[in-house]
A and B are shown apart, each in its own frame.
Chain A
């Protein structure tokens, strides 16, 4: 097996929400009010190996983007270790720290918000490689043209500003910018979610072409299971900050083990499913400020039993490469 590019060991991220006015007042008056803490990511272990595409899925607010940002090194973890090529990311110094930063790039959902509206495309794409000495001033123009062409953009547009492009083209600018610093690893956070299906297909094909051409590794965050199924080698499913299942893509879609994954998969709208009767997982996604005890999924789980309310299930290997976090697996054994 190839070496891990990134390895997460027990990584957590907590955000504390400052108290609102009423809360502060109550505390001043002596009420036992504590700052509210969101456990956005809660003890995640994850390995991404060279050349892999790992899909990360889960409902809104379950911590996907937070995990992605920590993996990309743009947000520190509250707890746990993040290893980059076996070395702790937070212990890297100087050239090595810079290297780690360049080698991992992130592409976001909203291409517009992530592009500086006052910069020309050529500068958006070409600034970082120039600063980091990946190209010389004299070769800069040709370098930028190449990056744009590779992302499917006509280099003759390089003097234009982001607002002069369509949504799909803006996403291509984001891709050209990420590729321009010659990364080995790309974290895509809902990178095609805002695009029309036909444009989405073009961008997904581009990702796959680039993977082959440049030997790229991806962490692909998406709430769209159809997209994840299509391009991932391995899929990781999160629920309220925790990984609940992890397996090779075919395995997850053929033999989902965790009740949450099963429910999620049964809800995926498919073009083959005509006039189906929709059902829906019962209940809302619980507030991450106050997650349910034991197994976070128990209030919505059709199989929940007594133990689920009190004891947090462990993420256990149930088949080679297939892990699940559910007490039912102990019963079956």
Chain B
């Protein structure tokens, strides 16, 4: 549906359907202490070649969201509601066998700990070739060639030599790159990356982010980048979804969301980044702590920490489109134009 070359094309909203559309996802854990609503009504979309940053404090439900998409939620957890539409197909309804066909093939996950992907007792070449052969009918030599090419793509020098190594012979950064290479082997249409650079040095993190960026642009892979670090997604993502206590509280393009956040929680997160504060002065902080999911405040879950909370916040605010393309779950948002706020 590309416009003819040279034509000034108005952006069409229906240009292409998104790679992933999550609608009102609910994933709950049925524990002895009670039902933990780890993900409780999460919605967002990710388009082809786009990076969506999924941010929030620890325990806000980011990882469970990612696991739900990949069909990796285990007992006592269960997807109890909503849809996960991958090119229109509802993943939440797939049988385990059908899901296995997609996983590692058209949809891949990169974990915070690369050893979740890597097998410590197998050489890297063995693992990569097996992964290729699991989903594609090619010769072993072709599979090896694909492995070598993919390692090169994530910036691993002398891939031939590296293929013969075991995971423990790599540094943390290299190991994560091998795990990323394995995720890329089948040129997936969707990658869910869960804090993959959090444990790495800034220099190595920047190298990996550079590769990821190139990849999405070149292959059209859609990416969900999960992190608690706003500064990383600021440079990487196109869109941002901010989670708090199992729900998306704000969702929109990176620029608008970081420049003029609507939700008080987003505002608080941005304010507490050290470089946003004057050197030596106290950092702006969000008071209190994340509430236990077993004991959430009635109404808006952020109420007990929110500087703008009022009586009305004892009701549950809906996630509404408060500005074009900008959604937030709040009765009294920041940064609303005067006429819209009235």
Distance, CA A199 to CA B272, complexed state (A): 9
A-B CB pair tally, cutoff 8 Å: 139
Cβ-defined contact, B205 with A275, below 8 A: no
Q: Which of B117-125, B144-152, B178-186, B228-236 contacts its partner?
A: B228-236
Cβ-defined contact, A269 with B234, below 8 A: yes
Instruction: Annotate A46-64 by CB proximity to B: 1 below 8 A, 0 otherwise.
Output: 0000000000000110000
Cβ-defined contact, B229 with A279, below 8 A: no
Number of interface residues of B (CB under 8 A): 46
Which residues from B are CB-within-8-Å of A277?
210, 213
Closest CB in chain B relative to A119 CB, distance in Å: 23
- Residue of A198, A202, A263, A277 with highest tally of chain B CB at under 10 A: A198
B203 proximal to A (CB < 8 A): yes
Which positions 259-304 of chain B face chain A at CB distance < 8 Å?
268-270, 272-277, 279-280, 282-286, 289
Instruction: Annotate A80-119 by CB proximity to B: 1 below 8 A, 0 otherwise.
Output: 0000000000000000000000000000000000000000
Closest CB in chain A relative to B151 CB, distance in Å: 14
Which residues from A are CB-within-8-Å of B108?
none
Closest CB in chain B relative to A212 CB, distance in Å: 10
Q: Which of B66-74, B76-84, B166-174 contacts its partner?
A: B166-174
Which residues from B are CB-within-8-Å of A60?
172, 201
Distance, CA A231 to CA B231, complexed state (A): 18
Cβ-defined contact, B268 with A267, below 8 A: no
Decide: A59 near B203, CB < 8 A? Known: A275-B254, A277-B210, A285-B171.
Answer: yes
Please, which residue of chain A has its CB at the minimum distance from the CB of B51?
A275
Number of interface residues of A (CB under 8 A): 46
Cβ-defined contact, A278 with B209, below 8 A: yes
Distance, CA A64 to CA B150, complexed state (A): 34
Which residues from B are CB-within-8-Å of A271?
230-231, 234, 258, 270, 273, 275-276
A214 proximal to B (CB < 8 A): no
Closest CB in chain A relative to B240 CB, distance in Å: 11
Task: Please pick, from B234, B270, B272, the residue contacting A273 in the complex, using a CB distance under 8 A.
Answer: B234
Closest CB in chain B relative to A231 CB, distance in Å: 7
A229 proximal to B (CB < 8 A): yes
Distance, CA A196 to CA B230, complexed state (A): 11
Task: Please pick, from A196, A229, A249, the residue contacting B274 in the complex, using a CB distance under 8 A.
Answer: A229
27 A-B contact pairs sorted by A residue (CB < 8 Å): A168-B289, A196-B57, A197-B228, A197-B229, A197-B272, A198-B268, A202-B285, A205-B283, A225-B202, A226-B275, A229-B275, A230-B275, A230-B279, A269-B235, A270-B234, A271-B258, A271-B275, A273-B235, A274-B235, A274-B258, A277-B210, A278-B206, A278-B236, A279-B210, A280-B206, A281-B206, A285-B173
Known A196-B58, A268-B202, A274-B255; further 11 A-B contacts with Cβ < 8 A: A201-B284, A202-B285, A204-B283, A223-B201, A225-B202, A230-B280, A231-B279, A269-B235, A274-B254, A278-B206, A279-B206
By Cβ-Cβ distance, the 4 closest A-B pairs, closest first, are A280-B207, A201-B272, A278-B210, A230-B274
Interface, chain B (partner A; CB < 8 A): 57-58, 171-174, 201-210, 213, 228-232, 234-236, 238, 254-255, 258, 268-270, 272-277, 279-280, 282-286, 289
